[in-house]
Structure 1
Amino acid sequence: MALSFDRLDRKEKTLSLGVYPAVSLKQARITRDAARAMVAQGEDPSEAKQEQKRLQRETNGQTFAKLAKHSLQNNERKANQPRPFPRQNTT
């Protein structure tokens, strides 16, 4: 289910409302009406949706810095483990 709308710069945009079995028609209509109200006020509903997702990721602690630190720690841990077979010189 999707909603198409025109932005202020006259370009059409599509906002996904979800997949049918997961999102009921009633909930899709409520979301559609809210998005239409935002468009009527000159706001971009897709930008608002992206901002909401960004805030949710930050509150869950999924920031780039945290993920990068976790990845570096895993790589250090793997680098410090002994290899099951010693490296052989191929020269």
Structure 2
Amino acid sequence: MAFGLKKQELAEWKRQIDNGKIAFLTHYWLDDRFPDCKTVTKVGCSDLEKLKSWGKKYGLKEEWIHYRKDGYSHFDLLGDTQRMILKEEGIAERLQ
């Protein structure tokens, strides 16, 4: 279940994706499958080759992309991977 997400944040994430940028959206999230994770970061891009290349840089597999018909395909980052990547991208403050 996602929560703590503002419509404006979602709209900005989609705008960046539509413009071919690598876009990050972090929000609170609860899922019984991942009891130690309280947030998720969705990383998307309309240019799927660019998204795949970005993910490869961090050891993310292409098959982990959530392919969406609406054009907002993305990786979901959780836990230690999420923290490491956000730190590397210089946006770790999103986790606070």
Length-normalised TM-score, structure 2:
0.25
Length-normalised TM-score, structure 1:
0.26
Larger radius of gyration: 1
The structure that is strand-richer by fraction is 2
Higher relative contact order, structure no. (Cα contacts within 8 Å, ≥ 6 residues apart) = 2
